[in-house]
Amino acid sequence: MLKPLLKSSRYLVLLAVLGGLASATALFVYGLIDTVAVISRALANGDVSTKTSKAIMLYFIEIFDLFLLGTVMLIMALSLYELFIDADVKVASGLHIQTFDDLKANLVSVVIAVMAVTFLGQIISWDGETQLLGIGVAAALVIAALNFYLWIVKGSKK
């Protein structure tokens, strides 16, 4: 009696999949709208200077961060679907998920990329007063720890 219920409970993951897809869609659409707005403002402004170009670079890095977060949501939605619902779903070869550890490793890899892009945004927007060394060291330590985790996970599969 309980076995069929437990077996079908895997479909509860569809809620997370749908939420992930909705989140990814919202982030991609918002990023696209923001991209068009930044380009429109830049063309309408007509101010061509180093200061303006740095500001535009920062806007685009922040927009790319939105796209990366959208990608994280999409990858997680696809991965959860593949892991719990249909292992035969077509995904990019690097995103193929066989275990929950694969899912965590994909998430960690994307988090590392998001952290790197975020720190790059901090560098570009640097006002000369903010202590980037502390932020950089903290980011580097987290990235190193996450890479160590990935190395451990990959090493345990051999």
32-54: b or e for each residue (b if 16 or more CB lie within 10 Å)? eebbeebeeebeeeeeeeeeeee
Whether 47 has a pLDDT exceeding 70, the answer reads yes
pLDDT in tens, 127-149: 777 788 888 898 899 999 988 98
Maximum Cα interatomic distance, the chain, rounded to a whole number of Å: 71
Q: How far is CA 86 from its chain centroid?
A: 23
CA triple 95-100-101, angle to 5 deg = 80
The domain ranges of the chain are 9-156
Per-residue pLDDT tens digits for 59-85? 888 898 889 889 889 988 988 898 888
pLDDT at 15 > cutoff 90: yes
What pLDDT is recorded for position 158? 61
- Cβ atoms 75, 103 nearer than 8 A: no
pLDDT-based confidence at 23, cuts 50/70/90? very high
Using the CB atoms, write b or e for 59-87: b if 16+ within 10 Å: bbbbbbbbbbbbbbbbbbbbbbbbbbeee
Q: Is 9 exposed, middle or buried (0-12, 13-18, 19+ CB in 10 A)?
A: exposed
The answer to whether the predicted template modeling score (pTM) of the entire model surpasses 0.85 is no
Task: Specify the pLDDT at position 34.
Answer: 95
**Structure tokens, 1:** 């009696």
More confident residue, 47 or 66: 66
Q: Which has more confidence, 47 or 77?
A: 77
Residues whose CB is less than 8 angstroms from the CB of residue 68 and which lie 6 or more positions away in sequence, other chains included:
110, 113, 114, 117
The arithmetic mean of pLDDT across residues 11-24, rounded, is: 94
Q: pLDDT tens for residues 107-126?
A: 888 788 888 888 887 887 77
